[in-house]
Chain A
């Protein structure tokens, strides 16, 4: 096991930390900034970001992308996925990503369809 051989680079080598402890604090700073941005956007809700883009508000897309950014750093640096072998990494990540896309596609598609059935008047929504 590569106990002490931590990969200390993030952003593809743009930032290189001196020690593992330093990297942990660095990642904390990053996660805090991302969360602060999310909360600030959530409270202020800028008018420009409320328009629709590919089925959802731009703001919601921003939230989802920022969440994936956070998830990446939690898995890669807190859970040390960066230091695992490529095989383990792919086994865990791609399996989950494939199943997430699959289930989300099916259920969200179906939910939208049911909504259409209601709103197109095949079933009356009683008040």
Chain B
């Protein structure tokens, strides 16, 4: 009738009654999950560090890549990421306030703070999506060489009596001609083959554009001792483009990246994507717990520990972002 074996030691130290860590099973396991997840992110960030040290003299400068703010067209480095960071920290605060209200068994307060947390998470994921879209679209365009290096364009302009190098977009000096090239589609060729979007310009058109604009110079990936990208003279600009220019790159994807090495784009998509996926699943879990709170599940259970457990996960997501922010955008 009774299948469990009674040893007579239940509740004793020897029978598992001792709790040396004074934490419940669920909370402890959440901590250990967080440890392993932290190590996964460590793997990504360390791999990023490896690639960066490998190309330390030509890695893209993040300030020049992430300069966009919605509805505003002047370059503003980092402001938008700082905003995203603040949103995530703020949602961490509302989450910890929900936990605190849970300790006091205040259902209405827990509900309210959980809702704010969910909104914070949604704003963050939305911002991340926008950030991705901007990065994929690109802004200036560049030419990739045979060796896979990126040639960007710009000109010297006077600003406050100082000569500064200002980037010039391809659309500002290159004219697209009709070269008769038709995009291959499945319907009018081999049905099992199709090709991606073609760049707006060909390399020949870029060469023509560069020849007809005396002010435009090429900027290479190589970083000089002052921490700035090397700018070629007019003569070597033309030579470099003619000798080595291979494809026109607009924006970034997993294969090419107008801002520099494709590795930068790969790591950007992988690390922020993996983090964004964590935020997304965090929002989903928060929504589930939110409804449980409304339904009074934890009221009946007489404790809100479940809120505490998802809070641990949510704070961890915030914690990871703090590191991604530093290593992707600041350092």
Contact = CB atoms under 8 A, between A and B. Distances in A.
Interface centre among B31, B244, B326 (most CB of A within 10 A): B326
Given A28-B89, A64-B326, A108-B53, A21 B331 contact: no
Interface string B60-99: 0001000000000000011100100110011011011101
Contact of B35 (A95, A119, A125): A95
A122 interface: no
A79 B316 contact: yes
A85 B22 contact: yes
A32 B39 CA distance: 26
B196 interface: no
Q: Size class of B's contact patch?
A: 35 or more
B42 interface: yes
Contacts, number: 147
Nearest to A41: B330
A46 to B, nearest CB: 13
A118 B92 CA distance: 44
Contacts of B312: 79
A115 B316 CA distance: 34
B145 interface: yes
B47 interface: yes
A79 B97 CA distance: 11
Nearest to B82: A39
Interface in B32-66: 32, 34-35, 38-39, 42-43, 46-47, 49-57, 63
A88 interface: yes
Chain A contact residues: helix, strand, loop or mixed: helix
A4 interface: yes
Contacts of A64: 326, 331
B24 A104 contact: no
Interface stretch (B123-131, B159-167, B174-182, B317-325): B317-325
A29 B124 CA distance: 20
Interface residues of A, number: 54
Contacts of B51: 111
B107 interface: no
A111 B92 contact: no
A71 B147 contact: no
Interface in B161-194: none
A2 to B, nearest CB: 7
B42 A103 contact: yes
B329 A115 contact: no
16 contacts: A4-B103, A32-B86, A35-B89, A39-B79, A39-B82, A42-B330, A67-B325, A80-B308, A84-B21, A85-B20, A85-B22, A96-B39, A110-B50, A112-B54, A112-B56, A125-B147
Given A50-B227, A80-B308, 5 more contacts: A43-B77, A108-B53, A111-B56, A115-B56, A118-B54
Interface of B: 20-24, 28, 31-32, 34-35, 38-39, 42-43, 46-47, 49-57, 63, 77-79, 82, 85-86, 89-90, 92-93, 95-97, 99-100, 103, 145-147, 149, 227, 240, 244, 308, 311-312, 315-316, 318-319, 322-323, 325-326, 329-331
